[in-house]
Amino acid sequence: MIFFIFGLAAALTACGGGGTTASLTTASSTTVSPTTTIPWATTTQPSTTTTTAAPTTTTTRTTTTSPPTSIPEGGVEYTRLPGDAKRIALTFDAAYDPSPLASILATLEREDVPATFFFTGEFVEDFPDSVAQVVASGRPIGNHSYSHPDFTKISRDEARSQLRRTAELLTAAGADDPRSLFRFPYGARDKATLALVADEGYVSVYWTIDTLDWKTDRTTKEIYDAVMNRLSPGAIVLMHVGGKQTAAVLPSLIADIRAQGYEFVDLRTALR
């Protein structure tokens, strides 16, 4: 864990002074809200359910997508991997239903594909066995907040608590310290929140491709097309552990991405 934070020390120093490096794709300074009506926003995700275990909270999940436009002040954000190499990063957010996880991990193991997971603290508390599976796989786990709030609508103290509480839960579960990997819930962030997470030792990991796989009516073909139609060097792909069709489409996605000459990488390695 330490080696990764040191590898990002220069970037975090720059973000403290309001600058970023040329290798970063940076995000808009405009707040992205899950309730905003804009052409590139998605709809509200259905309330979560699971047959594996009863979560202690019920949270309505949404996700938003914003086109990066300007350099953030005081923070660093990646919307794609640095460089021009044909590399791609698969990322899986986990905030609710863990039932597809075993199949997802089995595919990643069988195909020897690196990937990165982002857990909420609630997920860690509610589904310890699932978290243990990812920890045992050795794949990086990033911080996705504790209860999945919109960081632009909570206080600075609450935001810090969200980050620290989840980091403590992850390390108690046997995972490495999640720093420096953080993904904003809903993709909602602004200059102030980017600076805050940087001060806590994190960079913001956004995405290049949103599969929208959390939608209950999302088909495997729609997920497949969302990735393959936007495949490009350095793409960061957003998927969800709870996406019902994600596990089913993953083998064909991996095979066809590789057929186009891409290498899979995890974020801890790629952003070192």
What backbone torsions phi and psi does residue 44 show, to the nearest 5 degrees? -70, 135
Per the residue annotation, which of 97, 150, 240, 266 is the catalytic one?
240
Q: To which H or E segment does residue 203 belong? A: strand 203-205
Tell me the C-alpha distance between 127 and 233, whole Å: 34
Active site residue 217: no
Tell me the C-alpha distance between 103 and 246, whole Å: 9
| 180 prior amide bond cis, ω within 30 | yes
Q: Which amino acid is at 192?
A: A
Per the residue annotation, which of 93, 97, 150, 210 is the catalytic one?
93
- The region, left, alpha or beta by phi > 0 then psi within -120 to 50, assigned to residue 145 is left
Tell me the C-alpha distance between 114 and 73, whole Å: 31
Active site residue 240: yes
Catalytic center residues: 93, 240
